[in-house]
Amino acid sequence: MAKEALTLGEKPVGDDPFALFANWLGDAEGSEPNDPNAMALATVDEAGLPDVRMVLLKGFDAAGFVFYTNFESNKGRQLLASGKAALCFHWKTLRRQVRIRGPVAVVGEAEADAYFASRPLGSRIGAWASDQSRPLESREVLETRVAELGERYGDGAVPRPAHWSGFRLAPLQIEFWHDGAFRLHDRAVFSRQDEAGGWRIERLYP
């Protein structure tokens, strides 16, 4: 018997997970009221204890999924130490989930500089002002720092802090999940041994 063509919500899955992801993200851009590019980023700390928080996807292609952060934050330290992460998107209005796992690498300096330069002035100043994830005595301390940095960099020429850059997660596994009636959801998993390998596609029980 011929193997059934894989479908999700009756649409064909195809053989390119990045194309399918682009499709789903495009749908989310049309349906989600806020931040369709928001994703949960999971890491582990040095004791192996999982940690998770939201970040924004700032780019993706066949090389991987890119997000930016402070490298001295909890997540920054965890990513630099373990070199691995997982991502999860949940688009509520579409009733879809995408899960992604793999190794992470720091993006190139030029790529990080270009993205940093594209951010609004306030966000660039914020990257300098925030000692992300470390204790803050009061809101006032942060506001004073922002005001001081605003005076220093008011002309708009804000350099990228050395501790602020991006990570690219190169997926070894991407799972697409589409809600089905009576919890009989559709799940399709693309997996590969390494970044150069071809994708194996499987349907999973919900």
Ligand X SMILES: Cc1cc2nc3c(=O)[nH]c(=O)nc-3n(C[C@H](O)[C@H](O)[C@H](O)COP(=O)(O)O)c2cc1C
- Residues catalogued as catalytic: 183
CA distance 192 to 108: 25
Task: Decide if residue 53 touches ligand X (CB under 6 A).
Answer: yes
Q: What is the longest distance spanned by two Cα atoms in the chain? A: 72
Q: Does residue 74 bind ligand X (CB under 6 A)?
A: yes
Using rule CB under 6 A, residue 69 touches ligand X: yes
Tokens found for residue 4 = 């059934």
- Under the criterion CB under 6 A, does residue 168 sit at the interface with ligand X? no
Q: Is 124 a residue that touches ligand X (CB under 6 A)?
A: no
Closest among 176, 175, 171, 177 to 192, alpha carbons compared: 171
CB of 75 to ligand X, least distance (A): 3
The number of angstroms, rounded, from the C-alpha of 34 to the middle of its chain's C-alpha atoms is 15
Helix, strand, coil % (nearest 5) of the chain? 30, 35, 35
Tell which one of 55, 105, 121, 146 touches ligand X (CB under 6 A).
55
38 binds ligand X (CB under 6 A): yes
132 binds ligand X, rule: CB under 6 A: yes
Find the part of the chain contacting ligand X (CB under 6 A) among 53-61, 103-111, 117-125, 136-144. Answer: 53-61
Would you state the torsion angle of the CA atoms of residues 75, 80, 82, 84, taken in this order, to the nearest 10 degrees? 70
Enumerate binding residues for ligand X (CB under 6 A): 35, 38, 51, 53-56, 67-70, 73-75, 132-133
